[in-house]
Amino acid sequence: MHTELNDCVDDFLDNLALQRRLSENTVKSYRRDLNQLVDFAEQQNIQHWSELKTSQVRQFIALEHRKGLSGRTIQRMLSAARSFYQFLIRQGLIDTNPAQAVQAPKTEKRLPSTLDVDQMSALLDQTHPDTFVATRDRAMMELFYSSGLRLAELASLDLRDIDFGDHLLHVTGKGNKDRVCPFGSKALAALQDWLDKRDSLGFYNQTAVFITQQGRRLGVRSIQKRLAYWGKKQGISDHVHPHRLRHAFASHMLESSGDLRAVQELLGHADISTTQIYTHVDFQHLAKVYDSAHPRAKKRKIN
């Protein structure tokens, strides 16, 4: 193993964690992708990153594609390589970025599956808050759907982040970007029921909003398991997970308002193209918008 190759990767990852303050999971993802590139470079007898050529990056991508990796995964790996090389350029270690002009295989952009309004109503309204766990889980699901939160955002939520008067949540999203998310009356009621329940058991000093029966902050894996449990209990055929509730929030907001920019802000997306992928508007809805809006689409009556 060539020390210089790995040392540069380690320096880059430290920069992501300490300077750019990216999440631990994001840094781990960069490490996995760059480790693949290190392995390839070693197989090519490359000892310094300045020796890697664009043709070799294309060869690396082709090899990964033949392994069966999706276009989306390869796009992520290329993005990691480009970012890494930009870091090396800024450090004065190299002059050019061999990954810059390399394209990933085309990938089909599939809309993620979502839950319709009736499914969401069944999931939320039939989760009766009669126990500690059920009261907590209903409040979690109401907040996911009411505010479009990411899993990590909900898991890290503290009591001080909630503005009960104005019905607002202060969350820190990807890249440590802060945003304010409104939540509705149903979520407020579920949240108050949950806080009353946990206070009645003496958990006054816990700063985390969602906790276990032992008083510890509820982890992301436990939250995922709880949503999957309620999805199965309500007979929802597809797997229910936090991202599907976030997607349902985005889809239903867009279908009702048609305001893509507002939904982008609520979701905390830096790029509106990401919002377009997350949302789901069926063809009938688009056809109605077209028929009502386009001046030459309106049907004329024949006298």
For 258-268, the pLDDT digits (tens) are 778 888 888 88
| Topology given in CATH for the domain delimited by 3-90 | DNA polymerase; domain 1 (1.10.150)
Task: Tell me: pLDDT of 300 over 50.
Answer: no
Q: Mean pLDDT check: name the lowest of 184-188, 212-216, 289-293.
A: 289-293
Q: Which residues contact 149 (CB under 8 A, 6 or more apart)?
A: 143, 157, 169, 171, 181, 242, 246
Tell me what percent of the residues of the chain surpass a pLDDT of 90.
Answer: 47
Which CATH code fits 117-287?
Answer: 1.10.443.10
Helix/strand/coil (H/E/C) assignment for every residue in the chain: CCHHHHHHHHHHHHHHHHHCCCCHHHHHHHHHHHHHHHHHHHHCCCCCHHHCCHHHHHHHHHHHHHCCCCHHHHHHHHHHHHHHHHHHHHCCCCCCCCCCCCCCCCCCCCCCCCCCHHHHHHHHHCCCCCCHHHHHHHHHHHHHHHHCCCHHHHHCCEHHHEECCCCEEEEECHHHCEEEEECCHHHHHHHHHHHHHHHHCCCCCCCECCECCCCCECCHHHHHHHHHHHHHHCCCCCCCCHHHHHHHHHHHHHHHHCCHHHHHHHHCCCCHHHHHHHCCCCHHHHHHHHHHHCCCCCCCCCC
pLDDT (mean) for 181-206: 92
pTM score: 0.59
Catalytic residue ranges: 150, 174, 243, 246, 269, 278
Within the chain, all domains assigned CATH 1.10.443.10 are found at 117-287
> What pLDDT score does 258 carry?
72
pLDDT (mean) for 71-91: 90
- pLDDT of 104-154, one tens digit each? 776 655 555 678 888 888 888 887 878 999 999 999 999 999 999 999 999
Within the chain, all domains assigned CATH 1.10.150.130 are found at 3-90
Task: Tell me: pLDDT of 299 over 60.
Answer: no
> What pLDDT score does 130 carry?
85
**What type of residue sits at position 85?**
Y
